[in-house]
């Protein structure tokens, strides 16, 4: 064994000993919410193997519980120590650990965030040894660009298997946990259309029209003339196929264009979870474009994901798992900041704000179940195991965020001042 190999082995063993003690004997011992059961099964570090070590609520009937089984202890500790949530996601994608309920596991980490203070415990490691450790331990990394681009290039067949027959890539609304994804998706669509107070023959603009479920419902149920704009050729293809199948070619037009290039005036403008793809740099332009396209007595309905105001600065200061591997140019803000952008840059006024965030958890759980249930079919499409695990972590990560009330999903109705003509009256 040469000196460098010896040093690397010694450093690895020392790192595992140090970080294992901090994470499993100090940090996790502070768990107060939920019951976490730990198994370690690693042939390279058998001295740390354990079975059914319990943290947090040790009662027989905890409110929430999850089991984590670690199979590659060194890489798990390395990733979590230096990258926290990003590292945890990478470690899961690599297969370093599994969980019987990943969403609940992540939710417990969020809810125990203040008491476990991962950033505080590993702050010294991150600041002093990050570059040094990476020089000697060049860990395998995910193929960033490849995986990020794949998110936008995955086939329609993939999304149909995951999102269900409605192909709605946004939160449904559920009356209870047992309602199907299809029912919840259609309730969300119909609720949005009710907020817009649609009338027969009106011109409707949908910015970010996806696979077309909302525009088809607006045309079928209300007789509206809908213009959808999208940047996705794949989504537009399915949208056009669905329009033809429904015989709605005279009522729906799907245009492949940027929102900046929208022309004409519309009675109603609807945009579902499009703001997440517009950074704060372009918010003024985005909302001014909407205002310009809105008719005199028009109504705007937006649905947008947002952080709690108190957590926004922390989010903006870090690169998270989703912004690194899923939506490279994605951007979330808080509802207060977003509404401020609207009122400062347009004459639009806020008519109502509703948070449907808790419902999003159920949609994401459904998507994850569909993903895993259709794993064999997805593998046959040429999508590998690592990418499936990437999406499973993504869905679980988001579900945990909404379930823990760390993330919100707002429905916002806007109109022009003194609009008494088009807004829905009291019953």
Q: Is residue 204 part of a domain?
A: yes
d(CA 18, CA 36): 21
The separation between CA 409 and the C-alpha centre of its own chain, rounded to angstroms, equals 11
d(CA 78, CA 323): 21
Q: How many domains does the chain have?
A: 2
286/369 same-domain check? yes
Question: What pLDDT shows up at residue 124?
Answer: 42
- Return the DSSP state at 421: S
91/225 same-domain check? no
Q: Strands 349-355 and 203-207: what pairing?
A: unpaired
Q: Which domain holds residue 341?
A: 156-415
CB 265 within 8 Å of CB 292: no
Q: Any idea which residue has 């509206």 for tokens?
A: 224
Question: Which residues, 6+ apart, have CB-to-CB distance to 332 below 8 Å?
Answer: 276, 305, 306, 307, 315, 407
CB 346 within 8 Å of CB 288: yes
Question: What pLDDT shows up at residue 427?
Answer: 61
CATH number of the domain at 365, please: 3.40.50.150
The torsion angle over the Cα atoms of residues 395, 400, 403 and 409, rounded to 10 degrees, is -50
Question: What pLDDT shows up at residue 324?
Answer: 79
Residue 27's Cβ-count burial label (10 Å; 0-12, 13-18, 19+) is buried
The residue out of 91, 118, 145 marking a domain boundary is 118
Question: What pLDDT shows up at residue 276?
Answer: 86
322/210 same-domain check? yes
The CA–CA distances, whole Å, from 175 to 184, 283, 402, 412 equal: 8, 33, 17, 21
Dihedrals phi, psi of 63, to nearest 5 degrees:
-65, -35
Q: Is residue 169 part of a domain?
A: yes
The residue out of 118, 144, 168 marking a domain boundary is 118
243/324 same-domain check? yes
Question: What pLDDT shows up at residue 155?
Answer: 83
d(CA 345, CA 230): 24
50/165 same-domain check? no
Ranges of the chain with pLDDT below 50: 3-4, 6-7, 122-150, 152
Question: Which residues, 6+ apart, have CB-to-CB distance to 212 below 8 Å?
Answer: 167, 228, 235, 238, 239, 242, 243, 252, 254
The residue out of 61, 93, 118 marking a domain boundary is 118
């Amino acid at each position: 064994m040469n000196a460098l190999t010896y040093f690397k082995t010694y450093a690895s063993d020392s790192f595992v000993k140090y970080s294992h003690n901090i994470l499993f004997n100090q940090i996790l011992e502070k768990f107060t919410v939920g019951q976490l059961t730990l198994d370690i099964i690693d042939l390279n570090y058998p001295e740390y193997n354990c079975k059914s070590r319990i943290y947090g609520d040790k009662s027989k009937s905890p409110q929430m519980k999850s089991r984590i089984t670690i199979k590659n202890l060194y890489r798990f500790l390395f990733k979590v120590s230096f990258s926290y949530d990003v590292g945890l996601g990478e470690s899961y994608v690599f297969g370093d650990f599994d969980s019987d309920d990943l969403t609940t596991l992540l939710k417990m980490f969020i809810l125990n965030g203040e008491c476990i203070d991962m950033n505080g415990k590993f702050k010294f490691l991150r600041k002093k040894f990050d570059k040094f450790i990476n020089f000697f331990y060049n860990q395998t990394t995910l193929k960033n660009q490849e995986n990020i681009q794949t998110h936008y290039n995955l086939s329609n067949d993939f999304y149909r298997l995951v999102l269900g027959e409605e192909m709605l890539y946004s939160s449904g609304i559920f009356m209870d946990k047992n309602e199907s994804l299809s029912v919840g998706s259609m309730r969300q669509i119909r609720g949005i259309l009710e907020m817009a107070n649609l009338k027969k023959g009106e011109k409707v603009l949908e910015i970010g029209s996806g696979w077309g479920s909302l525009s088809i419902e607006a045309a079928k149920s209300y007789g509206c003339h809908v213009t959808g704009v999208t940047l996705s050729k794949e989504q537009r293809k399915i949208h056009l196929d669905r329009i033809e199948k429904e015989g709605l070619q005279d009522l729906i037009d799907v245009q492949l264009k940027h929102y900046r290039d929208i022309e004409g005036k519309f009675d109603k403008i609807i945009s579902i979870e499009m703001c997440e793809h517009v950074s704060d740099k372009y918010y003024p332009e985005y909302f001014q474009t909407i205002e310009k396209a809105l008719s005199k007595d028009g109504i705007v309905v937006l649905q947008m994901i947002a952080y709690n105001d108190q957590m926004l600065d922390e989010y903006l200061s870090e690169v998270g798992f989703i912004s690194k591997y899923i939506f490279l140019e994605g951007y979330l803000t808080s509802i207060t900041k977003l509404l401020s952008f609207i009122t400062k840059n347009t004459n639009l006024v806020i008519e109502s704000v509703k948070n449907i965030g808790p419902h999003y958890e159920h949609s994401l759980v459904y998507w994850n179940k569909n993903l895993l249930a259709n794993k064999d079919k997805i593998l046959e499409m040429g999508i590998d195991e690592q990418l499936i695990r990437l999406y499973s972590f993504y869905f679980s990560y988001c579900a945990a965020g909404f379930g823990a009330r760390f993330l919100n999903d707002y429905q916002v109705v806007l109109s022009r001042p003194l609009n008494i003509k088009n807004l829905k009256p009291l019953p």
